[in-house]
Amino acid sequence: MKIETTILKNLLQNEDYARKVLPFLNDEYFTENSDKIIYNQINNFILKYNSLPNKEALNIELSEAKITEEDFKESVNLINEIGKDDQEFSDLAWLLDSTEKFCQDKAIYNAVVESISILDNPKSTADKGAIPDILSDALAVSFDPHVGHDYIDDSSDRFDYYHRIEERIPFDLDYFNRITKGGLPQKTLNICLAGTGVGKSLFMCHVASSCLAQNQNVLYITLEMAEEKIAERIDANLLDISIDDLHSLPKDLYDKKINNLSKTTKGKLIIKEYPTAAANVNHFRALLNELNLKRSFVPNIIFVDYLNICTSSRIKTGSNVNSYTLIKSIAEELRGLAVENKLPILSATQTTRAGYSSTDVGLEDTSESFGLPATADLMFAIISTEQMEEVGQILVKQLKNRYNDPTVNRKFVIGIDRSKMRLFDVSQAAQDELVDTGQKSDDTPSFDIATGGKFKKQDFAGFDYE
């Protein structure tokens, strides 16, 4: 018996099976005309009457259908075959698995045929750029039985969720761990807001270095600076050498330091450069696939430097769209990439001209699009003044926080060493000088406490850049 016949037989006789698979079946999956006709008759009957048809009802419906005489005869024979009152398949799990595989195979086959027709037919109205989406949709075919969270019946699962420890990537900065309850969780988009030259890239390079020290795989995508420039900043941070001194460091000493670093961690850093305003999430997805295939590299966190100079995969370059729509689209696509790959993404954006000179930056100072803070899970501003630069400090202000109460530890100070591209915690005395900070004692362990004080800047694996 063909799998198509088995499917139709159980659609007619097995109500549990029919209700589980009908939302995923499609008449395009059936090759024979008679199979398509009977499937559509059963599907239409169930949709109209909310019950399974019997053999007699199918024959009556079939007699009124506008089909050829040959198709009618074949369909009648098929109804007689699937309408036999013999033993049903008792293994519902096997039936569902077999039907799902049938749908997946047919969807992929149909997508390949459609793609070939687009390529072979010069008069085709379909765009060749649609082929990746056609194949992607086919590969995504699956039976998802989840139709929502039942408040009463699923209360036990909900209780387990409340007590499940969420996987996070911690910072090596105490107050950032406090405001995020221990670090950046998976499936999130996190945004650093700052003016030009304040330290957006410095912040991301420092966090990338600390992630490597935790044996995390890091992908750093840059659309602003060259790959070598990003690697230079991370060198300065991890080798504890100023950028100026780095250029005069002897080759043998440099190699020795890199070799020592590569022995202390399993983490790896890949730096990939794209031209400004020339890459979107589709390029990033292709990069992730290529890295997985060629280097067996799967990142735990992605840095995008920076969001505003990406392009949108949904909005055609040169389209007459406003900046609000464009930047919001880019943010949504990056967050979708984070959800898809189950990792956090950290990026940055610029302040407006007024925000650049402000000592109290707010969400309204986000440049180009307020749709960005609407999409981000965490958004914070980095603020610098001449007085703070003199003492080697910058101010951080929470703007949006889905992980914690943003009014708690609203503002805090961290130290900055620009020559070594490094950030560090400062004494509590520096925090006490701030006004309206919302700071209070917090029992969230800092990174140093969580590791028993064993965190060292040198705990880093060798990095690689393309």
pLDDT digits (tens, 9 = 90+) for 94-130: 888 888 888 889 889 988 888 888 888 776 666 677 7
Structure tokens given for 28: 């395009």
State which H helix or E strand residue 146 sits in: none
Asked if the model's pLDDT at residue 320 lies above 90, the reply is no
Q: Tell me the DSSP string of 148-184.
A: ---TTTTHHHHHHHHTPPPPEE--SSHHHHHHTTSSE
> Which of the residue ranges 161-170, 395-404, 436-445 has the most confident prediction, judged by mean pLDDT?
395-404
pTM across the whole model: 0.67
The C-alpha atoms of residue 335 and residue 57 are separated, in whole angstroms, by 50
- Name the band, by pLDDT with cuts 50, 70 and 90, for residue 457: very low
Q: Quick one: pLDDT band at residue 87, thresholds 50, 70, 90?
A: low
Cα–Cα nearest to 35, from 47, 20, 46, 25: 25
Q: Which residues contact 313 (CB under 8 A, 6 or more apart)?
A: 280, 281, 282, 333
* Nearest one of 44, 48, 38 to 82, comparing CA atoms: 38
Residue 165 has pLDDT above 50, yes or no: yes
DSSP string, 11-80: HHH-HHHHHHHTTT--GGG--SHHHHHHHHHHHHHHHHHSS---HHHHHHHHHTS---HHHHHHHHHHHH
Instruction: Give the CA radius of gyration of the chain.
Output: 29
The CATH code for residues 3-139 is 1.10.860
Lowest average pLDDT, out of 21-30, 101-110, 363-372, 431-440, goes to 431-440
Higher pLDDT, 66 or 203: 203
Could you tell me the end-to-end alpha-carbon distance of the chain, in angstroms, rounded to an integer? 54
Beta bridge partners of 190: 346, 378
- CA–chain centroid gap for 182, Å, is 20
pLDDT attached to residue 88: 55
Report the alpha-carbon distance of residue 329 to residue 372 in Å, rounded.
9
Do 181 and 368 touch, CB atoms closer than 8 A?
A: no
Among 115-124, 374-383, 388-397, the least confident range: 115-124
Q: Average pLDDT, stretch 78-96?
A: 76
Give the pLDDT score at 56.
Answer: 87
| Residue 43 CB contacts under 8 Å (≥ 6 apart), including other chains | 22, 25, 27
Task: Return the minimum-mean-pLDDT range out of 207-221, 301-315, 328-342, 361-375.
Answer: 361-375
Residue 6 pLDDT exceeds 80: yes
User: Would you say residue 448 has pLDDT above 60?
Assistant: no
Reply yes or no on whether the pLDDT at 55 is more than 90: no
Residue 376: half-sphere exposure toward Cβ, Cα within 13 Å: 26
144-to-27, 337, 463 alpha-carbon distances in Å: 19, 21, 40
- In whole angstroms, give the CA distance from residue 302 to residue 221: 7
Could you tell me which residues come within 8 angstroms of residue 149 by beta carbon, excluding any fewer than 6 positions away? 158
pLDDT over threshold 60, residue 45 = yes
- How large is the average pLDDT for residues 373-389? 91
Average pLDDT over residues 412-439: 86
Residues of the chain with CATH 1.10.860: 3-139
Per-residue confidence at 230, pLDDT binned at 50, 70, 90?
Answer: very high
Top mean pLDDT of 86-95, 158-167, 191-200, 436-445 is at 191-200
Residue 449's pLDDT band (cuts 50, 70, 90) = very low
Residue of 326 and 133 predicted with greater confidence: 326
Structure confidence at residue 261 (pLDDT): 87
Model confidence band, residue 319 (pLDDT cutoffs 50, 70, 90): confident
pLDDT at 381: 92
Kindly tell me if the per-residue pLDDT of 452 is higher than 90. no
Residues 152-174: what's their mean pLDDT? 87
Residue 343, pLDDT > 90, answer: yes
- pLDDT of amino acid 148: 77
Average per-residue pLDDT for the chain: 85
What is the rounded CA–CA span in Å between residue 373 and residue 363?
Answer: 7
Reply yes or no on domain 168-465 having CATH 3.40.50.150: no
Q: Please report the pLDDT score of residue 251 as a whole number.
A: 92
Residues of the chain with CATH 3.40.50.300: 168-465
E strand spans, 277-386: 301-305, 344-350, 378-383
Contact of 461 with 444, CB cutoff 8 Å: no
When pLDDT is averaged across residues 353-366 and rounded to a whole number, the result is 80
Q: For residue 134, is pLDDT > 90?
A: no
Task: Supply the pLDDT for residue 459.
Answer: 43
Calculate what percentage of the chain has a pLDDT beyond 90: 37
The distance of Cα 119 from the centroid of its chain, to the nearest Å, equals 31
Q: Which amino acid is located at 129 in the chain?
A: G
